Amino acid sequence: MQDITPRELDARMRRGELSPLLLDVREPWETQICRLPNAQAIPMRLIPSSLDTLERSRPIVVICHHGVRSRQVAQYLAHHGFQQVLNLQGGVDAWAKDVDTSMPTY
């Protein structure tokens, strides 16, 4: 499990170096306020029952509000055999400040 900053993630995706599953582990009320395009929302509490729905061969970037819950989920995924797991450092809050300043924040 590694951390990736919003700027690093944006740059790597724009260059085509990384085509990850963007896994948003926030609650539904949070994803209604803002979310990264194409992110798959699975609340943190549902991750254990959703492991079989995730592609193990694809890189996964785990996202939350500030990067705390996503770090826990990323560690959980790594512990369960997912090899390419990245935590979005600072979460959607940092993404909104560093990459997409038009994104609503809360």
Domains of the chain, first to last? 2-98 (3.40.250.10)
- The reported pLDDT for the residue numbered 18 is 78
- The reported pLDDT for the residue numbered 7 is 98
Catalytic residue set: 64
Cα–Cα distance for residue pair 29/47, rounded to 1 Å:
17
- The reported pLDDT for the residue numbered 44 is 98
Rg (CA), the chain: 13
Tell me the whole-structure pTM to 2 decimals.
0.95
Neighbours of 19 (CB within 10 A): 9
Q: What parts of the chain have a pLDDT lower than 50?
A: none
- The reported pLDDT for the residue numbered 17 is 84
- The reported pLDDT for the residue numbered 29 is 98
